[in-house]
Structure 1
Amino acid sequence: MDIRTLDYLIIFGFFSLVLFIGIYVSKKSGKNTSEYFLSGRRMPWWLLGFSMVATTFSTDTPNLVTDFVRTDGVSGNWGWWAFLLTGLLTVFVYAKLWRRSNVATDMEFYDLRYGGKPAHFLRGFRSLYLGVVFNVMAMSAVTLAAIKIGQIMLGLAPIETVLIGGTVTVIFSAIGGFRGVVYTDFILFFVAMAGAIGASVYLVNIPEVGGLSKVLENELVQQKMSILPDFSNKDALITLLIVPLAVQWWSAWYPGGEPGGGGYIAQRMLAAKNENHAIGATFFFNILHYALRPWPWILVALASLVVFPDLESIQTAFPDVEEGILRNDLAYSAMLTKLPSGLLGVVLASLGAAYMSTISTHLNWGSSYVVNDFYKQQINKNASERELVNVGRLSTVLLMVLSGFFALNLNNATQLFDIIIMFGAGTGLIFILRWFWWRINAWSEIVAMFASGIISIFFWQFEETLFLNEGAPFPSWSKFLLVVLLTTIIWIVVTYITKPEDNQTLYRFYETTKPGGPGWRKIRDDAVKEGVSLEEEGKRWTVPSGILAMLVGCVLVYGCLFATGNWIYGNYSLAIGLTALVLLAAWLLKIIWGRMKSVL
C-alpha cells in the first residue's frame, strides 16, 4: 500500500474532529441519564435519521454485501433487503407508539406492558442478553471487518487494529454520551458515503477492470448481477427470496431491523422531540438505508470478480493474510488497495467513520440497558444520577473490551449474521403483536426467547444429520422455518396456559400508548364496566392506514433500489418504468400520510 502523508493527514484530522465533538458535548451529556442516553428527548427527525443510517453503515456492511454478491449474486442481499418491510411497519405503525410510551429504553417497556416478577425478570435478563451478549456479537462482526481492513490496507496486526480503533471510539463514546454519538454520526454519514461512492467510481474504471461496460460483459459477473434469484433454482429461490420476504422480516430479531421497532432504532425514536419527529426519522432512515446506499458496495463487489475471481487469487495477491480470515468478504478490502493517494485517505477515513458510528451507537445503546434496566433496577435503586452516568461510562469501556476479544476469534461477518438471525427466529411476532393483543404476557416473551435459543442450538448440533447429509429428513432451507414454527407454537401455548396480565397493568399501558384495535376490545369493555376512561373521543384507529402506507412505501423504496440498478445495468426501458412507479408511489404515500397525520 502506498499510503502517503496526505492520506495520514486526512485520517488523523478526521479522528481529531470526532474526539473534539465528544469532548465538547461531554459536560452537557454528563448532567444526568436522560441527557447521557437520550439528549433530553429534544432531537430533530433529520439528525436522528442521519444517525440511524450512519449506525447501520459499519465496516462489516460492505464486507457482508461483498460476501453476498460473490457467493450468491446480487440477489443474496435479500437477506437484509427484506427487513425494509419491518422498517416501514415501524415508521407508520410503531414509531408513534414508542414515542408515546415515554420509556427511557425499550427494556423499560416491559415494566409498562407487563407486571409483577416475570416482567421484572424479563427486563433485567433481556437487558444483559441483548445489551451485552448480542450487542458484543454485533460489535465483534464490525470489529472483525476493521481487522481485515487494517491487515490488508495498513499491514496492522489484528490486535493493533482493535487497540487503535477501539481506544478512539470508546473515548468519545464514554465522555460524549448519546449527544456526542448523534452529532458525530451526522459528519460520519457524509464522510462514509463520499468514501463509498468515490471508491466505487474509481475502482470500476481502473485498468484491471476496464470500466462499467467491461464489468457487465464479464461472464462471471453476468452470473451474479441479477437482482432476483434464478426462479428455476428452487433452493436458491426459497432461501434467497421467499423465506426473507414471507417469513424472516416479521419473525426474526436483528439489530436495526427489529419487528415492532426496538434496540438503537427505538432509542432514537425515544429521543425525538415528538411523535412526528420519531416517524420522520425512521422513514428518512429507511429510504437512505435501502434505496441510496447498496449500489456503491455492489459495484465494487462485482468489479472484484473481475480482478479476484476466486479466493486463490486473493491469497496470491496478499500472501501475508492469515488463512483463518481468508473469505469472500475480504475482496472489498483487497479492491480498496488499488485507490490512489488522497482518495485512499478519504476512503480509509470513511471506513473509520463507519466503524466508529456503529460501535459508538452500540456502546451507548448497550450501556443504556446496563444502567437503566440492570444496575438501577437490580443493583442500586437509589443510585444518584452522577453514579449512573459513571456506571454508563464504565460499562461502555467493558463492552468495547469484550467485543474486541471476541472479534479476534472470528473468521467472517456472515457467521454472526446467521447466528443472530437464528437466535432471534420466532420471537418477532411477539414484538409485533404485544402492542395490539392484550393476552400476550411476560411469560410469552420469556419462553419464546429461551425456546428460540435452545432449538437453534439443537439444530446446529445436528445440522448435518437433519439438513445437510444425503437423505436428511429436511431440506437445508427449512432450518430457519422450523425454528420459527416450533418457537411460535411454544409461546402461543404458554400464553394461553398462563395467567394474563392484571387489568390495572393493561389499563395503564393502554392509557399511555393508545394502541387501539380489536385486540384490546375486551380490555376496553372491562374498563367501561369499571368506570375507567381509556378512549380518546373521535380518534380513528390508524393501523390499517399504516399498513397500507407501509406497502406503498415498500413499492417506493424497492422501486428506487431496482430503478437505480437498472439504470446502472443499462436496462433503460425497465429503469424508466420503475422510476415512473416510484413517482406514483410517492404521490400515493403523500395522500395516505396526510390522512393519517390528521388523526394522530
Structure 2
Amino acid sequence: MTWIDWVVVAASLVFVTFVGLWFTKRASGSAEDFFVGGRSVPWWLAGTSILATSFASDTPLHTTRMIRESGLAGAWFYWSGIFSMIVVAFLFAPLWRRSGVVTDNELMELRYTGKPAAMLRGGMAIYKTLFLEILTMAWVTLGMTKIIKVIMDLPDTVALPLLGAVPSEIAVVVALILMTMAFTAASGFWGVVATDFIEFCIAMVGAVVLSVVAISKVGGIDKLKEGLAASELGPSATDMLPDFSGERFTFLAMGVFLGVQWWANAGIDGSGQRAQRFLSCKDERHAIAAGIWGLAVQWLIRSWPWYLAALASVILYPDMVDHESVYPKMIADLLPVGVKGLMVASFISAFVSTITSHYNLTASYAVNDVYRRFMVKGRSAKHYVSASRWATVLIAGLAGVLALLLPSVLDAFRFKMELMAGLGLVYVLRWFWWRVNAWTEIAALGASIVSAVGLKTFMESSPETAANDSALRLLLVVTISAIAAIGTALLTKPEPMEKLQEFFVRVRPPGVWGPVAAGTGFESKHIPPKTWAHMGAALVFILAGMTGIGKVCLAEPALGLGLLAVSTVCGVWLLRSVFGGYTAEPVVDSDGV
C-alpha cells in the first residue's frame, strides 16, 4: 500500500467516524434512544442497515471459499435464506413493530409469564451475549484480521513501542477492537444505522471494482468459462443448479438447504439484528418496506460481485490452500494505487458496520434483559445509557479474545447455524399457536444445544464432505429439538388466558388463536390470501432477478434479459399492491422492562 492508498483509507474513516459521533447526543436520552433510535428510523435506512450488518468483512471470505470448493451452486448454502427473508418481511416485520419491545428477548415476557418466562428471557440473553453474538463478532474480527495481514503483508510478529515483539494477529485484533468499541459506545443505534448507509455504499463500490478487475485479468467472461471448465470444478462451475454426480453435493444437502435450513434457525422470525431494525422503524409499514428493501438489494445487487471474483480466483490462484485468504490476496495483487486504498476502506467499512451493529445489539441484551431486568432496577435513564456503554466495551474485549482462538470463519458460521437450528420451529409457532409456552422454548433450546455440540464432537468431517456433513447434523438437530418442543407444548399447561389475551390484543398475530381471541374484541384470522400472493410474487421477483443478473454477467444475455423482464413485472406489481392501500395497526411501545 502506498501513501495515496492510506490517504483514501484515512479520509473514509474520518468521515464515517464524524457522521457516527454526530449522533452521540441523540443516543443519550434513554435506553430506547440508545438501542432502537427512538423508533424514528425510516424504512430505507433500516433496510440498508440490515444489509450492511450482514455485509461483514468476513462475508466475501467465506463466500469465496464456498465458491472455490463447490462452484457457483455452492451459493445455495446462502440462497436458501431468500425464503426466510421473504417470510420475515411480510409476516414477522409488522408483528415485531406492533409488539413495541426493545429487544427480541423482551418479547418472551410479553408472550409468556411467571418464573419460566423470566428464566427464559434472562438465560437466552446471557447465552446470546456470552456465546452466540460473541462468536459472530469473533469470526467477523477474524475475517478482518486475515484481510489486513494479507494486504499489508504483515510478518508473524510486529514490534510495538514499550511492548516489543507482539504476534501480528494480536496487534491487529486489539487495534480493530479499540477503533470500533469507542465509536459504538458513544453513538448508539442512530450512529450505527447512519454510518451503515455510508459504509454499505463504500463497500459495494469496492466489491464491484475488484470483480471487474479480476474478470479482466483472466481475459473476460469467455476465458473465465474456459479456465473453469479445465479446473477441478469442471464445466459445471458456473451452473446455478448443483451437479449431484460427485461428492461436493448430495440430494440430502440440497434438500436440507431448500426444505429445512431456511426455517430451522433462530432468525426465521427476524430475531436479532433484523428485529432491532424493525423495532426502530416509525411504524409497521416502514418495517415491511425495510424488509423488502433489504431483500431486494441483498440478492439482486450485493452478492454477484463476490461470486464473479471468487470464480476468477479459481483461475488466478489455483494452488492457494487457504481459500479464505484468496479474496484479500486479489486485493493486494490486482488493484492499482488508489483503488487498493478504496478497497481496503470498503473492507474496513463493512467490518465497522457489522461489528458496531452487533456491539449495540449485544449490549441491549446485557443491559435491557439482564442488568436492568434482574440486577439494578428503577435507576435513571442516564444510568442505563452509561451501563450500555460500559457493556459495549466489555463485549468488544471478549469478542477480540475469541477471535484469536477461532480456526475458520466458515466453520464458525456453520456451527452457529447448527446450534440454533432447533429454535426455528418454536420461534414460528410462538407467534401463531396459543399452546406454545415458555417451557416449549426452553426444551427446544436445551435440545438444540446438546444435540449440536454432541454431533459436532463425534461426527468427523473432511473438507470434501463438510457441506453435506453440516447439512446432516442440522437435520438431526432440528428433528430432535422439534420432538422435544412439541412434546413439551402438549404435555404442559398453556400460559394463563389473561397473559395470552394481552399478547394477542397488542400484537394481533394470525394463526390458531381462537380460544384466546374470544372476548377480546378482535378476531382470530388466518394469514390473508393477499399476503400469500405477495410472498409468491416476491419469490419470483428475487429468483428471476438474481438468475437473470447472473446470466447477463456470464454472457448469456437472451435468457438473462427475459428473466429480468419477469422479475420487473413481479416487482412493480408487488410495490403497488403492498403500498397502495396498506393501513398500519396502532402500536404500544416500550422503553424496556
**TM-score, reference length from structure 1:** 0.90
Output the CA distance in 2 between the equivalents of 1:549 and 1:69: 31
Output the CA distance in 1 between the equivalents of 2:237 and 2:407: 24
Give 1:42 shift. Answer: 0.6
| Contact 1:540–1:599 under 8 Å retained in 2 | no
Amino acid at match of 1:341: V
Give 1:461 shift. Answer: 2.4
**What is the RMSD computed on CA atoms of the aligned residues?**
2.0
Give 1:7 shift. Answer: 0.7
Match of 2:92 in 1: 94
Q: 1:534 to 1:510 in 2, by over 3 A?
A: farther
Match of 2:310 in 1: 301
Give 1:594 shift. Answer: 5.3
Match of 1:416 in 2: 412
Give 1:51 shift. Answer: 1.0
Pairing 1:572–2:557 present = yes
Superposed, which structure 2 residues align to 1:33-432 within 5 Å? 33-156=31-154, 157-206=168-217, 209-218=218-227, 219-220=230-231, 222-233=235-246, 236-253=249-266, 258-311=267-320, 327-338=322-333, 339-432=335-428
Output the CA distance in 2 between the equivalents of 1:340 and 1:510: 59
Pairing 1:535–2:546 present = no
Output the CA distance in 2 between the equivalents of 1:556 and 1:121: 42
Output the CA distance in 2 between the equivalents of 1:417 and 1:23: 31
Give 1:390 shift. Answer: 1.2
Match of 2:497 in 1: 503
Amino acid at match of 2:4: L
Output the CA distance in 2 between the equivalents of 1:86 and 1:523: 28
Give 1:559 shift. Answer: 1.3
Secondary structure of the 2:101 match is coil
Output the CA distance in 2 between the equivalents of 1:181 and 1:196: 21
Match of 2:546 in 1: 561
Output the CA distance in 1 between the equivalents of 2:150 and 2:374: 45
Output the CA distance in 1 between the equivalents of 2:506 and 2:176: 42
Output the CA distance in 2 between the equivalents of 1:542 and 1:498: 27
Secondary structure of the 2:240 match is coil
Match of 2:517 in 1: 524
| Contact 1:78–1:240 under 8 Å retained in 2 | no
Report the more deviating stretch, 542-551 or 73-82.
Answer: 542-551
Structure 2, unmatched stretches of 5+, are 155-167, 463-467, 586-593
Match of 1:320 in 2: none
Amino acid at match of 1:201: V
Report the more deviating stretch, 9-18 or 262-271.
Answer: 9-18
Output the CA distance in 2 between the equivalents of 1:153 and 1:594: 46
Match of 1:319 in 2: none
Amino acid at match of 1:282: G
Match of 2:437 in 1: 441
Match of 1:316 in 2: none
Pairing 1:589–2:574 present = yes
Q: 1:520 to 1:403 in 2, by over 3 A?
A: same
- CA deviations on 1:225-268 (whole Å, 9 max, x unpaired) are 21110144587143553211111111123xxxx11111010001
Output the CA distance in 2 between the equivalents of 1:475 and 1:586: 37
Q: 1:235 to 1:480 in 2, by over 3 A?
A: farther
| Contact 1:196–1:347 under 8 Å retained in 2 | yes
Q: 1:414 to 1:234 in 2, by over 3 A?
A: closer
| Contact 2:236–2:243 under 8 Å retained in 1 | no
Secondary structure of the 1:405 match is helix
| Contact 2:221–2:555 under 8 Å retained in 1 | no
| Contact 1:93–1:547 under 8 Å retained in 2 | no
Output the CA distance in 1 between the equivalents of 2:577 and 2:42: 23
Match of 1:322 in 2: none
| Contact 1:107–1:369 under 8 Å retained in 2 | yes
Secondary structure of the 2:330 match is helix
Output the CA distance in 1 between the equivalents of 2:49 and 2:403: 24
Amino acid at match of 1:575: G
Output the CA distance in 2 between the equivalents of 1:596 and 1:559: 26
- CA deviations on 1:177-224 (whole Å, 9 max, x unpaired) are 001101111110110001111111122213xx2233211211226442
Secondary structure of the 2:534 match is helix
Output the CA distance in 1 between the equivalents of 2:194 and 2:489: 43
- CA deviations on 1:461-518 (whole Å, 9 max, x unpaired) are 2214xx88xxxxx98753221111111011111111111100010010001001133x
Output the CA distance in 2 between the equivalents of 1:597 and 1:330: 47
Output the CA distance in 1 between the equivalents of 2:476 and 2:565: 40
Q: 1:376 to 1:483 in 2, by over 3 A?
A: same
Match of 1:30 in 2: 28
| Contact 1:173–1:364 under 8 Å retained in 2 | yes
Output the CA distance in 2 between the equivalents of 1:290 and 1:37: 27
Output the CA distance in 1 between the equivalents of 2:389 and 2:153: 32
Give 1:586 shift. Answer: 1.9
Give me the identity figure in percent.
Answer: 35
Secondary structure of the 1:409 match is coil
Amino acid at match of 2:148: G
- CA deviations on 1:292-342 (whole Å, 9 max, x unpaired) are 111111111111111111235xxxxxxxxxxxxxx2111111111121111
Pairing 1:494–2:494 present = no
Give 1:166 shift. Answer: 1.6
Give 1:424 shift. Answer: 0.9
Superposed, which structure 2 residues align to 1:435-474 within 5 Å? 435-464=431-460
Output the CA distance in 1 between the equivalents of 2:53 and 2:554: 29
| Contact 1:131–1:365 under 8 Å retained in 2 | no
| Contact 1:235–1:477 under 8 Å retained in 2 | no
Secondary structure of the 2:249 match is helix
Give 1:577 shift. Answer: 2.5
Output the CA distance in 2 between the equivalents of 1:565 and 1:341: 29
- CA deviations on 1:33-83 (whole Å, 9 max, x unpaired) are 111111110110011111111111101100011011011111111112111
Amino acid at match of 1:13: A
Output the CA distance in 1 between the equivalents of 2:105 and 2:72: 36
Give 1:545 shift. Answer: 2.7
Amino acid at match of 2:81: F
| Contact 1:95–1:278 under 8 Å retained in 2 | yes
Output the CA distance in 2 between the equivalents of 1:227 and 1:411: 29
Output the CA distance in 2 between the equivalents of 1:547 and 1:262: 21
Amino acid at match of 1:226: D
Match of 1:323 in 2: none
Output the CA distance in 2 between the equivalents of 1:596 and 1:229: 41
Match of 1:545 in 2: 530
